[in-house]
Amino acid sequence: MIGIMLMTESTTNFWPQLIKLILVNNGLLIAVPYLIASLLTLINHATKKRLAQWHQSAQLIVGGLGVFIHESSHALACLLFGHRITEMQLINFKLRDNPDRSLGHVTHTYRTGKIWPTIGNLWIGLAPIFGCSISILGLTWLFARPTFTLWMTFAFNPSWHADQIWPLFKTLLTTTAPITFLIWLILCGMIAVGGFDLSRADFKGTIPGTIATVIIVTLITIGLQLIGQPQALTNLLLKGAIPLIVIGMMALILSTITWLLINGLLAFHYKKRH
């Protein structure tokens, strides 16, 4: 009787824990990048639209570096997941000759029915989020080493209290020389404005890969639950998600500041003209 009761209690706890882990793991792997991409896309599309109203080439001047990293990230992800690149333009300097006014593009195809290239659709679409994040991390390592060290420490030992989060950004100002900080700010701002936002085609292309990834993550989570290692995948995903969240927060701040500056400058420009 006692054995049956213990088994029933164990089974009762098994399913709620499994469902929770499936949701958490898919959230960390898919929902977090999607959310960051959606917020940055909303802000940076608005910035580019305002820049285009001023001058078509202004988009390239402000966000050209980001565009290059954006398209390069798509291309590298295509190679990683076995997609064939049919056409590629990492940055388009002749916007007037381009009917859709795209700043760059990567066109690719793949053989349907194979799991790896199908999963790749998700990561090819989201690749600029990771490519731009790595680029900002690299620039931080190069120009603001103490901040980079602090970010990495936080990634492995996160604490979401305000007094722990604020130093992640304050360190940039207190430990970086003004000219170095300015160079870092300009380069990261260009990456944030030109690189992080995803096109409608990017989001649409992720759908087959999202479905396949959800299925794979769910199966792995079930397998780990059955062998008594339920937190293994969650812990691994957290180590990747936390740096992405920190950089995403920084990119959101940079993008918002750029949007405010561009809107302010254009408002002043039009007011002066009239």
Mean pLDDT of all residues in 105-117: 90
For position 101, what pLDDT does the model report?
59
pLDDT digit string, tens, across residues 58-106: 778 888 899 999 999 999 999 999 999 999 998 887 766 555 557 888 9
In order of 18, 219, 226, 227, the CA distances from 223 in angstroms are 10, 6, 5, 6
Tell me the whole-structure pTM to 2 decimals. Answer: 0.84
- Residues 271 and 59 sit within 8 Å (Cβ to Cβ): no
Token match 């130093």: residue? 167
Helix (H) or strand (E) run with residue 89 in it: strand 84-89
pLDDT digit string, tens, across residues 140-166: 999 999 999 988 888 777 777 777 778
